[in-house]
Structure 1
Amino acid sequence: MQKVIRRTALAEKQAVRRLARRKDKNTRDWAKTKREQERFAHADESEKILEARKARREDWELGPLAPRRDVGDKKDTYGTINAQRTRGQPLKYEERAEALKTVGGRYLNIVKGDRVVLLEGRDKGKISEVVNTDPARGECTVKGLNMVDVEVPDWMISSEEADKRPVRSMEQPVPLVSVRLVYPLHDSTTGTTRDVIVKKLVNSKIWHDRHTGTTRWSRIIPGLNIKVPWPKTEPKKHEDNVCDTLRVDVETRTFVPTLLRPPMPGSVIDELRNKFSIFRTRHDPEYIEAKMQEDIEQEEKKKMAKEMHTPLKQVNRRERKLRKAKGKGQLTPEMLERIGAVIAKRRGGMSAVTSESAVVA
């Protein structure tokens, strides 16, 4: 039985090490992909900047003779950017924490459906609605603002699409730190309601519901202690299909537990996990009893091997009895004198050799 326990523990440790190696490999692959995307975006941006500088130099030097750049192969896509440049690069954990610090950190207080105002860019000061947020990149998309022309390759245009244009206008995400919430605040003194820009929002106490797996919190305007409600979202519409199970069939009671049999048959665990798997921690009583019997038999064999009398064991036992009968030896005065003489002789030889080496030196 101890062998089974050790085998299970070894298998669990191997599974943990295998999971750690897989996690490390996934991390390295993610970092490699991120570096490649950053390298591509940086190279594309540098190429566009160099082309723009070269074109500006030619326009300044040639003047009216400067070539037109919106003709030829770039007739339809002149002034567009690559679709991959519309979004930023995924941030690391430290960079993400710094970028989301002003908007609630891990628990964002700016979500889809909020009205926000842009603080920078060509649409600075304009107000619109948040379409979606991307915490991994620290960005959000604002409806109708920060529009850019994106080049759409031919392979991305399917035959079913009605729009065959190679250029599409779309919203480019903006950093979350570049937007501020716009909230209609009611003034009790004047009785009017007007939109105000909320410079700072703080989160209330965060509450985790372990039963539903949801997390709830509120956003509050500090100083005024006003709780800003979350934008209203439409409930999901569930459509019934022919293959769906009816509620009356689901709620029909088809099993009544009794004292004669367990609610779950014992064979179910064998279907979920192999009966002889090395990862199995629950075994049948018959299997455990057989393993315990094997341990008892092994202990009996070891005990029998110790009690077995072989010729070699008998000789060793007789020698031990003889040595024990003789007892411990004692040194006589004559033996001590001889030992002392030998020690003195050796010491004298060593001193003579030392003196000769000193005279030579």
Structure 2
Amino acid sequence: MWNIPNRHRNDPQINQSLVRLPQPCVRDSEVNRSQLVFNSDPTMQKLLKRTAQAQRQAGRRAKKMHRRDEFDTRRRNNQYLKIANDEIRQNLKDSRRARKEDWEMGPLAPKRDLGFNGYGTFRENLRQDWTNNGMNPIDPKVLEQRCAWAGGVKQLCLAPQDRVVILDGPDKGKVDRIQSVNKLNGSVTLENHHKALFQTWLDGKHHAQAMPISVGSIRLVYPITNPKTGITKDTIINEIKPIPANMESDNMSLDRWEYGNKWDRLVLGINVSIPWPEVQAPKFDTYDIDTTRDKVEARTFFYNLLSPPMPNVIIDELRNKYSKFRTRHDPEYIAMKELQERMKKGNPAVLKSMQTPLEEFHEKQRELKEARGEPELSEEMLTKLGEIIAKTKATSLEDAGITPLPTEPAEKTPEKTVDAP
């Protein structure tokens, strides 16, 4: 708010000229949401009122659209979850039936893995990422528990190309390399193990797809030299701790600092720092239309105080001259609006000549009503109303079973006479 002196706080002209623009405006960069316009001109007040109304309408529409999109997204997400869970239930049901048939029928049991019937495959993409890109967030406590041995979620000491050992599942005890790390759900994918057959919807073909495995179900494997025997062998690291990066180490490079992790990892108990895998800088393809770095850094535009940087027509196109959210108007536009207001106030005869027959009838009725004045009740009407009210009251009390109290006449106080002296 503007700091107004106390002597002017109660001035109605100043209070009416302070207009606060509403908050929910996200469509016009020209509007300053915290701007206070100090102007007592009625024409400008109308323009500002129109802008404020347009901003409120746009805010309500945006809020309503956001709620609708959020509801639709949540509904679709619930549908995906239901379909994926139904697929898992069906797989469990089929596996129980197959196990029962194999036990009862023995060598006569049907052969199911034929390759064309989709046995042992999955179709739902949600099973590869149950968070659905963050729409189904995992409980932070569960996520922190998964990543506790690897330094926590914020400073996870795992990276692609790290060698890990699997602790759970059918591939228990096998060593593989990490293909990707997902910090949203605390899982990783491996290069060779823990895969499943994914069946596409269009052609029905199968291909092996890496499935996510929890960080808590793997441990880091790194060759460590025994200081007593001098023998180097693969060791399972049970707990890692993140530490500040050593900028002078051989493992630190510009590519790692820009594209990799900015901390080192230390094995607790033996104080051995495990280097990060080599970070490969992403390669970007350049084309003829791309601007090279030497041209980007070169200055090609110089300010000129005598001419605008671009034609006024382009400025109007970029600024959206006819936007209903504008708060700063050209002097010509303001002068035109003021002229229109003066014409309305100065030529009432012209406006009256443009009236429709219905408007003329309404105006005549208003004049007759003003000429008659307010209706007055006569003594007879007041007496009649009193009788009706008394009769209605007596009937209501009788219906309710209440006996009205008799009214006693008021005692007259004797007048005191004063003898004349």
**Same fold? TM cut 0.5:** yes
In 2, Cα distance between the equivalents of 1:75 and 1:248? 56
Aligned residue in 1 for 2:130:
89
Residue from 284, 288, 293 that aligns with 2:330: 284
1:168 equivalent among 207, 215, 219: 207
Query: Is 1:179 equivalent to 2:233 in the alignment?
Result: no
TM-score under structure 2 normalisation?
0.55
> Greater helix share, 1 or 2?
1
* Displacement of 1:144: 0.7
- Closer/same/farther in 2, CA of residues 126 and 58 from structure 1, 3 Å limit: closer
Which of 45, 48, 56 is matched with 2:88 structurally? 45
Distance 1:266 1:204 in 2: 57
RMSD: 4.2
Deviation at 1:142, TM superposition (A): 1.0
Runs ≥4 residues deviating over 6 A = 186-192, 213-216, 224-227
**Tell me, what secondary structure is at the counterpart of 2:324?**
coil
Which amino acid counterpart does residue 273 of structure 1 have in structure 2?
R
Distance 1:149 1:110 in 2: 26
Cα distance in 2 for partners of 1:215, 1:10 equals: 50
1:70 aligns to 2:116 (yes or no):
no
CA distance in 2, matches of 1:113, 1:19: 45
Give the superposition deviation at 1:39. 1.5
The worse-fitting range, judged by mean Cα deviation, of 119-128 and 224-233 is: 224-233
2:164 maps to 116
- Give the corresponding residue for 1:126: 174
CA–CA distance in 2 between the matches of 1:125 and 1:178? 11
Q: SS of the residue aligned with 1:57?
A: helix
Q: What per-residue deviation string (whole Å, max 9, x for no partner) do you get for residues 163-209 of structure 1?
A: xxx4433322212332333455567777776554444455568xxxx
Is contact 1:143-1:171 (8 Å) kept?
Answer: yes
Aligned residue type for 1:70: R
**Aligned-pair identity (%):** 30
Q: Which amino acid aligns with 1:272?
A: L
Q: Following superposition of structure 1 onto structure 2, how do residues 137-148 of structure 1 map, counting pairs within 5 Å?
A: 137-148=185-196
CA shift in 2, pair 1:189/1:264, >3 Å: farther
- Residue 12 and residue 112 in structure 1: after superposition, are their counterparts in 2 closer, same or farther (change >3 A)? farther
In 2 relative to 1, CA 122–53 (structure 1 residues): closer, same or farther, beyond 3 Å? closer
- TM-score between both structures, scaled by the size of structure 1: 0.62
Residue in structure 2 matched with residue 328 of structure 1 by the alignment: none
Change (3 A) 1:282 1:178: farther
Q: Does 1:218 align with 2:263?
A: yes
Mapped partners of 1:263, 1:142: distance in 2: 56
Q: 1:27 aligns with which of 57, 65, 70?
A: 70
Q: 1:171 to 1:258 in 2, by over 3 A?
A: closer
1:149 pairs with one of 175, 197, 203: 197
- What do the CA deviations read for 1:61-101 (whole angstroms, capped 9, x no partner)? 3334x332337xx4544642213265142265652534432
- Distance in 2, Cα, partners of 1:204 & 1:180: 19
Counterpart secondary structure, 1:95: coil
Gaps spanning 5+ residues in structure 2: where?
Answer: 1-43, 245-257, 347-403, 410-421
Q: For residue 323 of structure 1, what is the aligned residue in structure 2?
A: none
Which residue of the other structure, out of 57, 60, 64, is the alignment partner of 1:17?
A: 60
> What amino acid maps onto 1:169 in structure 2?
A
Aligned residue for 2:283?
A: 237
Rounded to whole Å, the distance in 2 between the matches of 1:126 and 1:254 is 59
Residue in structure 1 matched with residue 419 of structure 2 by the alignment:
none
1:181 partner SS: strand
- For 1:81, the aligned partner's letter is T
Structure 2 Cα separation of the partners of residues 133 and 14 of structure 1:
44
Deviation at 1:277, TM superposition (A): 0.4
User: 1:187/1:95 Cα in 2 relative to 1: closer, same or farther (>3 Å)?
Assistant: same
Alignment deviations for residues 210-266 of structure 1 (CA, whole Å, 9 cap, x no partner): xxx999752544856776554332222334434445666656654332322344555
Judge conservation of contact 1:149–1:168 (CA < 8 Å) in 2. Answer: yes
Residue 313 of structure 1 is matched in structure 2 by none
Output the CA distance in 2 between the equivalents of 1:264 and 1:282: 20
Please, which moves more after superposition, 195-204 or 269-278?
195-204
Gap regions ≥5 residues in structure 1? 158-165, 206-212, 302-349, 356-361
Cα pair 1:182 1:198 within 8 Å, conserved = yes
Q: Any idea what the Cα deviations from partners look like across 1:315-354, whole Å, max 9, x if unmatched?
A: xxxxxxxxxxxxxxxxxxxxxxxxxxxxxxxxxxx98537
Separation in structure 1 between the aligned mates of residue 211 and residue 318 of structure 2, nearest angstrom: 48
